[in-house]
Chain A
């Protein structure tokens, strides 16, 4: 297990211990919910991971360099923001795809914009959750106050990159 994984397990067990202190029923419910969540998410994994792997076989190396590479600058950041906004599915889809894009030459700032746009715009989530639950006025209000964030995040990352050595393709 890697460092972050160990940290995660320690935090999870600590919070579970807090639950136990509050009462055994709570702790038991936490474990039952964990089990249920795992089986609910498993089918997603079974299709998302092969999808990302196939796509990374199909995407020719360096094809992303021109559009999304480190030198693509603002236009690359904007393209990545658009792509991130329409990307469907949860993190089990997006993060493997980001690895795929990075192997194909995409830049770190561009991938930051893509991840931010995937979180901020999240077209699939608007259609399936935000619009039905909160209404289109809320969607409009939220987008009006956050539409510029992905490009901003990409630009900040680009400005900071010279000070950090980050390689997404080989973690």
Chain B
């Protein structure tokens, strides 16, 4: 029941994921097995929260479809889903490959030097560009935010980076938006939202909320 704190190393949240510090459980917590177990379950839920939620919605919606619209509509829906899956998979694999290849080439340290507090609009522009080109989901982007912050990017640049990644990420654009909603819409929407991260970053430098990057 009591765990040696040193054996806590494999604890999934502690291992170097975010510079190794953020999620390291305090020793008092680490000694208490039930609490640790609870934290593990929480961690698993947190990692798979959207999967669980979407699964529940899918089951509910599936049962409702079966009940209200009949078996034929149920099968039609599944067939549509399969169609969409076959349609997305080629883009998905290409997008993942591009993301992984870019990760091998980009150097966050060199980029962060261009994004300091004195970098002005140019720094915000670089942050927006880097965010737009940053591939992958939040599990890739947020650790990168920490790296950029540690390497000297200021808060305006970090806000611009996060927004550019989530709003205009090229991977999302090419894998999902253009194939599913049409190239015209995807391009027009991206043109509209492209400058927005810079505006938000400019405001963020002036918002009177004190924030220090996590050490």
- Bound CA span A41–B143, Å: 19
Binding site secondary structure of chain B: helix
- Bound CA span A165–B183, Å: 12
Contact of B104 among A30, A89, A137, A165 (CB under 8 A): A30
Stretch of B4-12, B26-34, B45-53, B112-120 with 4 or more beta carbons under 8 angstroms from chain A: B45-53
Give the chain A neighbours of B61 by CB distance below 8 A: 51, 54-55, 58
Q: Are B81 and A53 in contact (CB under 8 A)?
A: yes
Q: Are B193 and A116 in contact (CB under 8 A)?
A: yes
Q: Does A43 reach chain B (CB closer than 8 Å)?
A: yes
Q: Are A134 and B145 in contact (CB under 8 A)?
A: yes
- Give the size range of A's interface with the partner: 35 or more
- Closest chain A CB from B166 CB (angstroms): 4
Q: Which residues of A contact B (CB under 8 A)?
A: 1-5, 7-9, 11-13, 15-16, 18-19, 22, 26-27, 29-34, 37-38, 41, 43-45, 47-58, 88-93, 95-96, 98-99, 108, 112, 115-116, 119-120, 122, 124-125, 128-130, 132-135, 137-138, 140-142, 144-146, 149, 152-153, 156-157, 160, 164-168, 171
Instruction: Show 23 residue pairs from A and B whose CB-CB distance is below 8 angstroms, ordered by the A residue.
Output: A1-B90, A5-B94, A12-B95, A26-B105, A34-B100, A38-B96, A44-B54, A48-B54, A50-B78, A88-B49, A89-B50, A91-B175, A120-B163, A133-B22, A138-B155, A138-B158, A141-B155, A145-B207, A149-B163, A153-B196, A156-B192, A166-B184, A171-B182
- Bound CA span A140–B137, Å: 22
**Nearest 3 CB-CB pairings of A with B:** A54-B61, A51-B58, A145-B203
Q: Are B179 and A4 in contact (CB under 8 A)?
A: yes
- Closest chain B CB from A107 CB (angstroms): 12
- Closest chain A CB from B193 CB (angstroms): 6
Contact pattern, B 88-118, Cβ under 8 Å of A = 1, otherwise 0: 1011111111111111110000000000000
Indicate whether A57 sits within 8 Å of B189 (C-beta atoms), given known contacts A15-B98, A33-B103, A134-B145.
no
The chain A residue with its CB closest to the CB of B188 is: A164
Q: Are B58 and A54 in contact (CB under 8 A)?
A: yes
Q: Which residues of B contact A (CB under 8 A)?
A: 18, 22-23, 46, 49-51, 53-55, 57-58, 61-62, 64-65, 68-69, 73-74, 76-78, 80-82, 84-85, 88, 90-105, 136-139, 142-143, 145-146, 155, 158-159, 162-163, 166-167, 172, 174-186, 188-189, 192-193, 196, 199-204, 207, 209-211, 213-214
- Bound CA span A153–B149, Å: 28
The chain B residue with its CB closest to the CB of A147 is: B200
- Bound CA span A152–B161, Å: 19
- Bound CA span A135–B210, Å: 11
